[in-house]
Amino acid sequence: MAKKKDNKFLEYRGKPLVRCGNTIYYGNMNDPYVIMLQITSTKTFNDMEIADRVLIQLLNTDPDCRPRDRIVKKSEKKGLYNAMDIGTIWLERALEKGTA
């Protein structure tokens, strides 16, 4: 009998984390908001490429929302850790209140 594939995403703090190139989406697309992280520049450290500058955007997932109104908040941080830190806070607050 064939085994059923488990299509689970990598999770961070109980929410899906999906990467496509230099863009990372954090959050469930069925929720009202998700975070989009775009790595705008990288640097080399010990022969590895690491994120240097990261653009963070809190996005509204409502399909009826105009594209211009989808971006609720945005900022730029140095390093992926700092970007994930602020992005997680924004997402948690937006989901608690229902608004950003």
* Mean pLDDT value of segment 30-38: 94
Q: Which residue has the higher pLDDT, 100 or 96?
A: 96
Domain limits of the chain? 13-97
Angle at 65 between CA 24 and CA 10, to 5 degrees: 20
* Mean pLDDT value of segment 80-92: 94
pLDDT at 20 over 70: yes
**Count of positions (residues) in the chain:** 100
Phi, psi (5° rounding) for residue 30? -85, -15
Phi, psi (5° rounding) for residue 57? -135, 130
pTM above 0.75, yes or no: yes
Q: Which of 53, 92, 91 lies closest to 72, judged by CA?
A: 91
